[in-house]
Amino acid sequence: NAGVTQTPKFRVLKTGQSMTLLCAQDMNHEYMYWYRQDPGMGLRLIHYSVGEGTTAKGEVPDGYNVSRLKKQNFLLGLESAAPSQTSVYFCASSHWGGRAYNEQFFGPGTRLTVL
Amino acid sequence: AQSVTQPDIHITVSEGASLELRCNYSYGATPYLFWYVQSPGQGLQLLLKYFSGDTLVQGIKGFEAEFKRSQSSFNLRKPSVHWSDAAEYFCAVGNFGNEKLTFGTGTRLTIIP
């Protein structure tokens, strides 16, 4: 049981390049989330999904797109990377058992640098 | 809207000393409260959570937290810290019917010998 995994672990992009971050979970969780973590700002929600084929915007969605074609995968895309998107990106998942207090399980993170 | 405040950006304690990390939340109804720990270069791991019942909750690694509704607080405590507790700690709040959590900005804990 690997939990939540993220690919890649590190990436360096030039301004204007595109890339996709992959998140996979093997816990059969319904909900999945993408956060970015910046110094002094905690975790900010980018996009999230409450089930296969659904996505919703979080707190800071601009410049990102997401897709949830399979229940176990949640992709985060940057179409035209900007230096402001330099950050550490975390994926998380949680089980919806009819209760909102189920914990979120986090992946190890992807460190992205945009030059 | 729910919000979380962690007023201490950085705390330094001696190994073996007691620890208290502060967390204040803003939400009208009964919140669901969480403490996560992040070791350097790692993801976040749940320490403990509160959603109802006993206001003093026990977590992993010897941590506990107390929910105080009158103070809108959920402070994290440990009676004796170990060098391995050096990490960043995040408080988070959720609520019934909302699938999202709101995180505080974190408190970085340094342990000195």
Question: pLDDT tens for residues B58-78?
Answer: 999 999 999 999 999 999 999
Distance from the Cα of B79 to chain A's closest Cα (Å) equals: 25
CA distances from B11 to A24, B33, B34, B35, B84 (A): 35, 21, 19, 16, 15
Closest chain B residue by Cα to residue A89: B43
Which chain A residues touch B51 with a CB distance below 8 Å? 99, 101
pLDDT digits (tens, 9 = 90+) for B5-59: 999 999 999 999 999 999 999 876 778 899 999 998 889 999 999 988 889 999 9
What is the Cα–Cα distance from B49 to B67, expressed in whole angstroms? 10
Interface probe with B: pick from A95, A102, A104, A110, most Cβ of B within 10 Å: A104
Structure confidence at residue A40 (pLDDT): 85
With beta carbons less than 8 A apart as the criterion, state whether A86 and A74 touch: no
Closest residue, chain A, to B96 (C-alpha): A100
CA-nearest residue of chain B to A98? B97
Confidence of residue B1 (pLDDT cuts 50, 70, 90): confident
- Statement: residue A19 has pLDDT above 80: yes
Write down the mean pLDDT value for chain A: 93
Across A52-73, average pLDDT: 95
